[in-house]
Structure 1
């Protein structure tokens, strides 16, 4: 049997990402974060939810590799001219 995806509200998604709800809304409107409208077709107001998978895909796309800082040169690494 296929399991149903867990759906998160905009508030919970914002909590998970550590951002404001308005930022989550902006990410959805820009297409960076995929959402599902679970409202009834007769409803005039959308009922937006986010899946764990769409949140994880967003995180994966936005994750950056941080390089280790280069070691600082010490005095012995600098050639002596005097």
Structure 2
């Protein structure tokens, strides 16, 4: 089993988050960070490691948390 099956490129994760934010008309901005880049996605602060590759499970959980934030916002606006 190759180690590459357990990674996602950081730029691909950021691209997916930007696409998700644009499709849902919400913010996705960098707010700083030290060992991690910190972003605000629809009010949720997320930390993305400063590596070119991110563990796919970490990436999956970040995307899951962002989707949950969108779903929560949709219910709140109804």
The TM-score with structure 2 as length reference comes to 0.41
Q: Greater strand share, 1 or 2?
A: 2
Q: Which has the higher helix share?
A: 2
Q: TM-score, normalised by structure 1?
A: 0.40
